[in-house]
Amino acid sequence: MPQKPLSTKDLAQDGYEKNYFLLATELKNADFGQRALALGFRPDPAGGVRLDFLGQEYHLDSTGVRAADGGPSLANRRSLLIHYLLSKGQDGPGDQYLTLWQMPGFIRGRRDPGSDLLNRAALMAFGDDYLAFAKAAQALGGQAVPPAGDGFREWDFLVLPKVGLRVGHLAADLEFPAEIRTRFDDKAPTFLEFECLAFLVATFSEALAAAKEA
């Protein structure tokens, strides 16, 4: 019997898995004790380190990354944790927040990728429904931020121990649809490169949308 062709989603996930396995080889020589102290991981008595990320606990050691409970985990999340573990950042998070287009490494002239990446999941899930957005934000451990006067209602997340993320919802008006804005603290680029931060926006957006269904 001929095999069923892979869907676009299957192909994407297969690509994520290949990328993860390539990255995992870099863990063989990682100093887990030193990185645990620098980046906020918890040492595991059995070896390696542990970290809570987007509502799931992960175990990292020289063999790779896996969900601590032995259950399934997304390859793109495992890859992000490897990038974070191997980063050279020390201090953070910062106290100022920047959109992706304001960060080093962004090619000027393109649209702000923060909105584009987040819109695909979070805006489809919440649209103009701020109450649903706020409930999901709270479920992911977010803290409401006092209004800044620009119309956005924002929530702060410590998406990784040293990386702060601020996500805001702007209601629709007569001219423009609802908008979601994502900003990282200004120390975030010392822990994750621009491409990883952009990918983290999409990953967080998916987790936020999933929290609506929980």
In this predicted structure, which of 22-36, 95-109, 124-138, 198-212 has the lowest mean pLDDT?
95-109
Q: What is the pLDDT of residue 150?
A: 87
Q: In terms of domains, do 101 and 207 share one?
A: yes
Q: What is the pLDDT of residue 208?
A: 93
Q: Which amino acid is at 124?
A: M
In a domain, 172, yes or no: yes
Q: In terms of domains, do 81 and 101 share one?
A: no
Q: In terms of domains, do 109 and 205 share one?
A: yes
Q: Is the pLDDT of residue 10 over 80?
A: no
In a domain, 1, yes or no: no
Question: What is the mean pLDDT of the segment spanning 170-191?
Answer: 90
In a domain, 92, yes or no: no
Q: Is the pLDDT of residue 81 over 70?
A: yes
- pLDDT class of 70 with cuts at 50, 70, 90: very high
Q: In terms of domains, do 171 and 200 share one?
A: yes
The domain of 181 spans 97-213
Digit-coded pLDDT (tens) for 43-53: 998 889 999 99
Q: Is the pLDDT of residue 181 over 70?
A: yes
In a domain, 126, yes or no: yes
Tally of structural domains, the chain: 2
Question: What is the mean pLDDT of the segment spanning 200-205?
Answer: 92
In a domain, 2, yes or no: no
Question: What is the mean pLDDT of the segment spanning 103-124?
Answer: 65
Q: What is the pLDDT of residue 108?
A: 53
Q: In terms of domains, do 39 and 114 share one?
A: no
Digit-coded pLDDT (tens) for 124-159: 999 999 999 999 999 999 999 998 888 899 999 999
In a domain, 90, yes or no: no
Q: In terms of domains, do 28 and 107 share one?
A: no
